[in-house]
Amino acid sequence: MKRFLSIIFASIVFFSFYSALAQEGNRLRVRIYSESNNISEATIASSFGSYQLNENSIKRQDKINLSVSNGKILLKLNDQEQGSFDTVRFTSTDLKCFFQVAPTNNKARRYDNDLEITLTKDKKSLKFINVVLEDNYIAGVVQSEAGGASNSVEFFKVQAICCRNYMKRNLHKHEKDGYNLCDCVNCQVYFSRANKEQVVEGAAKSTGEVIVDKNDKIIETLFHSNSGGQTVDAKDVWGNDISYLKPVEDSFSVGQPNYTWEKEISEKEWLNYFKGKGLDVKDYNTKQELLNFSQTEGRKAKIFDIPLTQIRKDFKLKSTYFTVVPWGSNVKLKGKGYGHGVGMSQEGAAKMCEEGYEYWQVIEHYFKDVKIKKQ
């Protein structure tokens, strides 16, 4: 009987330990303020819940100040010096805690979970690492990148899965620097924790879900603002054939805020540009083609041999999906869409969700031969 009870007791201990772990989830190390290498002083504070400062309990109203001093971090608590450290840890006591960090020369921001502060290699600036639960990070990114685009939970589920795919593919991107990802466009923009209810719900409801291709590999979830009614083959933009980044008809982007654009360029500048690329612009047929280039029947990749992606870059156009019309001494470019046009149209996805489509239908519309998998 005693033995039986101890087995029961051991199982209870084991399962409560296991469920605590499961609840914890995976944590990421994300460098915040990664573009600022000149933060010599900052304050931190709990915004919600109790925190520990280097293993010591602190109170909500405590004032914590960090500054760079002689190659170390000088720590002050309520204006009292606490010593100099290589690393300062601001650790939450439960999963709901969030904090505020305010560098003296930068905007204050709020983040979930924990903060680790060290110095940059040159020992001149504070370096902040947010040690954060994956879903909190995902929600923060979705809010930073697309929080204003919709109020639909379904749309934020789509965005959350796309961000999760990027995260999973790039976990080792900054490994040699001691963290997984940074907070700027070079990874994914992460300028705060999420406080918009629908965003948090979208991240939580899609937890663990990723998009895989027909070989079960996590796909690159490229997106843009508006496809103009037809998405682009990745091959036409970057030269490599990717099975899930193929052109699709996209009526959902039609009529959305970034659906059309126009730009006038003087005829002389337009023709000179192509002359500079080696075309004989005095030739009647060549000139007519350049002045009346049309994509009304669908997207093209080139004008003669010149990639539209190059023309887009050189004339700073919103997209490569334009038709040329002679306009007095100018040409008028009548364009559709905004962005590179590959993968998912954000405005189209928002429209689909508004119309009642489910998140997996949106994903299957924009990415070919893929499926959603729970990891």
Which residues in this chain contact Zn ion in the complex, by CB under 5 A? Answer: 182, 186-187
Could you tell me where the DSSP H helices lie in 25-152?
134-146
Which of 186/251 has CB closer to Zn ion?
Answer: 186
Give whichever of 184 and 325 is closer to Zn ion, judged by the CB atom. 184
H/E stretch holding 317 reads none
The partner residues of 45 in beta bridges, in order of sequence, read 100
Confirm if 192 and 313 have CB atoms less than 8 A apart: no
Report how far residue 289's alpha carbon sits from residue 285's, in angstroms, rounded to the nearest whole number: 6
Quote the least distance from Cβ 185 to Zn ion, whole Å. Answer: 8
Task: Give whichever of 38 and 186 is closer to Zn ion, judged by the CB atom.
Answer: 186
Nearest approach, Cβ of residue 170 and Zn ion (Å): 8
Q: Which amino acid is at 39?
A: I
d(CA 155, CA 361): 11
Minimum CB distance to Zn ion, residue 173 (Å): 6
Minimum distance, C-beta of residue 100 to Zn ion, in the bound complex (Å): 23
Q: Closer CB to Zn ion, residue 153 or residue 182?
A: 182
Other C-beta atoms closer than 10 Å to the C-beta of 247 total 18
Nearer to Zn ion, 62 or 177 (CB): 177
CB 106 within 8 A of CB 33: yes
Select 144 or 226, whichever has its Cβ closest to Zn ion: 144
CB of 106 to Zn ion, least distance (A): 18
The single-letter code of the amino acid at 202 is: G
Structure tokens belonging to residue 329: 């001494």
Closest distance of CB 136 from Zn ion, Å: 18
Shortest Å, Cβ 167 to Zn ion: 11
Determine the Cα angle at 189 with ends 96 and 121, to 5°.
90
108-to-183, 254, 294 alpha-carbon distances in Å? 15, 39, 49
Closer to Zn ion by Cβ: residue 137 or 244: 137
C-beta atoms surrounding 160 within 10 Å: 29
